[in-house]
């Protein structure tokens, strides 16, 4: 099959969303995209992305790069193939598509493919990069960054309501671990309660005055998970919490504040950092500030980045994820317009 007919981005979104691809399980959707794009005349590279130890049974996964043979692209469209759990089956009506990934980010994949094909037909040097693992640790982007293609611009796709992002907040993921001594709860003096220690640390964190950047907004802190102890009548000898800070500046003062809050009470492990980044505007295109993080900091070798895509981030990662078909089609034209302005 060698189908060069006009691409239907709504139909492609449907086909992509019918393939379950929560993080670590991107293999099948990567295979589909590689075959689909090869059939449409793209030169395909599939690069393996390693699985972490806890998901080695999930099977192989990859990044998919699509370009022209022996050609250095001027501009690369990129987004991610993985989605957050749980998988939500695709559905649609006359105006909207619903289900996991329609906006974050399989509809964006479809819009980027349609735009890339139109630009390729007009003689522009365009390529596509679709990666694994963005929703967890940017493993695919880190792998891709080891083999850049020399392009001048990277248009990364995330739900921005078809507005160009002027900045993207960073992220600092923290694990706090408190240790104690187990005892009967009737005799607390014989034990050392790790949960009580952890609660003290978390109370301090909630009172921190985090950095604010005037044209971006404040940092934010979320205590996302707490685990510890065995039973109400047992003094807990262990407790753990996972915290995520959204960064609007350098992480150093935030790290120092967290270490100070935990001193003498809990051990601190900074498990992931994605830096805050500023991005460029494009004349005539509405703008926004992305309070979320993206793969952009991990794709530093792929040209000057921009962030743009259809969909509302408030609905991503929720059971209500949806994307207007009209907005998806508008995104195709917007991607084409921005690419032409950049390459003029």
Residues with active-site annotation: 134
Measured CA to CA in angstroms, residue 247 lies from 169, 250, 278, 332 at distances of 5, 7, 12, 31
SS (H, E, C) 218-245: ECEEEEEEEEECCCCCEECCEEEEEEEE
Measured CA to CA in angstroms, residue 343 lies from 15, 53, 116, 119, 162 at distances of 31, 42, 13, 11, 20
Measured CA to CA in angstroms, residue 232 lies from 106, 114, 183, 188 at distances of 45, 57, 11, 12
Residues 237 and 194: beta-carbon distance below 8 Å: yes
Residues 6 or more apart whose CB falls under 8 angstroms from that of 122 comprise none
Residues 6 or more apart whose CB falls under 8 angstroms from that of 209 comprise none
DSSP symbols for 245-284: EEESS-SHHHHHHHHHHHTTT-EEEEEEEE--EE----TT
Residues 163 and 286: beta-carbon distance below 8 Å: yes
Kindly report the number of other CB atoms within 10 A of residue 106's CB atom. Answer: 32
Which candidate, 16, 302, 14, 15, places its Cα nearest to that of 140?
302
Residue 173, strand partner residues: 244, 272
Which candidate, 5, 39, 19, 44, places its Cα nearest to that of 106?
19
Residues 100 and 87: beta-carbon distance below 8 Å: yes
**What is the phi/psi pair of residue 117, to 5°?**
-70, -40
């Amino acid at each position: 099959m060698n189908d060069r007919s006009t691409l239907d981005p709504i139909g492609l979104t449907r086909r992509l969303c019918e393939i379950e691809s929560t993080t670590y399980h991107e293999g099948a959707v990567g295979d589909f995209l590689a075959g689909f794009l090869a059939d449409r005349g793209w030169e395909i590279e599939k690069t393996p992305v390693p699985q972490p130890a806890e998901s080695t049974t999930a099977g192989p996964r990859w990044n998919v790069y699509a370009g022209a043979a022996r050609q250095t692209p001027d501009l690369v469209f990129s987004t991610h193939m993985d989605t957050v759990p749980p998988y939500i089956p695709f559905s649609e009506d006359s105006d909207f598509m619903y289900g996991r990934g329609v906006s974050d980010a399989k509809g964006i994949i479809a819009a980027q493919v349609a735009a890339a094909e139109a630009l390729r037909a007009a003689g522009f040097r365009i390529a596509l990069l679709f990666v694994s693992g963005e929703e967890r640790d940017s493993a695919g982007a880190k792998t891709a960054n080891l083999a850049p293609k020399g392009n001048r611009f990277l248009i990364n796709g995330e739900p921005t309501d078809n507005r160009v992002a002027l900045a993207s907040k960073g992220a600092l993921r923290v694990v706090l671990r408190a240790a104690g001594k187990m005892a009967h709860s009737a005799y607390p003096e014989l034990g050392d309660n790790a949960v009580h220690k952890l609660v003290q640390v978390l109370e301090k964190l909630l009172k921190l005055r985090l950095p604010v950047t005037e044209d971006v907004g404040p940092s934010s802190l979320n205590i996302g998970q707490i685990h510890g102890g065995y039973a109400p009548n047992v003094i807990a000898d262990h407790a753990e919490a996972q915290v995520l800070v959204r960064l609007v500046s350098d992480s150093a003062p935030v790290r120092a504040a967290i270490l100070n809050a935990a001193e003498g009470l809990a051990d601190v492990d900074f498990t992931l950092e994605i830096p805050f980044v500023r991005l460029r505007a494009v004349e005539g295109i509405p703008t926004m500030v992305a309070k979320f993080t993206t793969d952009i900091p991990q794709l530093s070798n792929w040209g000057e980045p921009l962030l743009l895509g259809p969909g509302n981030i408030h609905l991503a990662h929720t059971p209500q994820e949806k994307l207007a078909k009209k907005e998806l089609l508008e995104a195709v034209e917007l991607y084409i317009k921005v690419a032409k302005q950049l390459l003029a």
